[in-house]
Amino acid sequence: MAWLRSIIRNDLAGVDKYRYGKPVSELQRELGLERVVRLSSNENPWPLPGSVINAIQTSLENVNRYPDPQSQRLRKLLAQKWGVSTREVIIGAGTEGILHSLFHSIIEFGDEIVCPVPSYPLYRIAAIASGARFIEVPACEGGTWEIGDIIRACTERTKAVILSNPCNPLGTIMERDRMLNLAHELDSRQVLLVVDEAYAEYVEDPGYLSGIDLFRDIGRIVITRTFSKIYGLASLRVGYAIAPKTVVE
């Protein structure tokens, strides 16, 4: 069976597996506790509204049927909510599924993806799995990044810059002026800006600029969002992206 290892790509050997938080049931058994509050996965602790539970239960009546592969109904509703075209919305198995599909679509082996760090570990895993080199830009004191540092990290092989705003895990934001500056600088260099807004609904800072507003202005960026956090649907694995039609297709 040793030959099986030889067919695995060598560059994947150094990629750490994504470490999911242990299930609560497993922690209860290990610790001998009846009640466990798990903080490692940023899950919404509040119960779902009854209307949502009823809708999920009703949908189970058709679980023996394949779903609409294009998720047309959900795409239409999201397009209406954000004021974009249905052709600019794509649905995926959480942010994870969308990023894997995106990187595999744009990366040629040896291309680069630049990322301000610390960041969500999945970015590195998805980038390397697609064949890209993952270039890290360390944060400055205070948990922010200099736009110039991000731009200088880009080369002729850079296909995308990915960042979370607000930042996971730091909780900091990239303010409006800096985000606009970064977006325009990358656009002029034909580098795709990918903004993960998994926690956007929690932001109260008036200086925050949603990437969706930026998308309406520039149009050549990708914004990912999820139903796993504030909407409490983590186990359903529903994420979406707002992106240029060419990227969605």
Residue 24 vs residue 233, higher pLDDT: 233
Half-sphere exposure of 11 (CA within 13 A, CB side): 13
pTM of the complete model beyond 0.85: yes
Checking if the pLDDT of 1 tops 70, the result is no
Q: What is the DSSP string of 41-101?
A: T----SPPPHHHHHHHHHHGGGTTS---TT-HHHHHHHHHHHT--GGGEEEESHHHHHHHH
- Give the amino acid at 244: P
Q: How distant, in Å, are the alpha carbons of 171, 187, 190 from that of 180?
A: 19, 11, 15
The whole-number pLDDT of residue 19 equals 74
Q: What is the pLDDT of residues 29-80, one digit of tens each?
A: 998 998 888 888 888 888 899 999 999 999 999 999 999 999 999 999 999 9
Q: What is the pLDDT of residues 4-23, one digit of tens each?
A: 878 888 877 767 777 777 78
Checking if the pLDDT of 222 tops 90, the result is yes
Instruction: Report residue 91's pLDDT band, with 50, 70 and 90 as the boundaries.
Output: very high
Q: How many CB atoms lie within 10 A of CB 4?
A: 7
Domains and CATH numbers, the chain: 65-248 (3.40.640.10)
How many residues are listed for the chain in this entry?
A: 249
* Token couple for 119: 């960041």
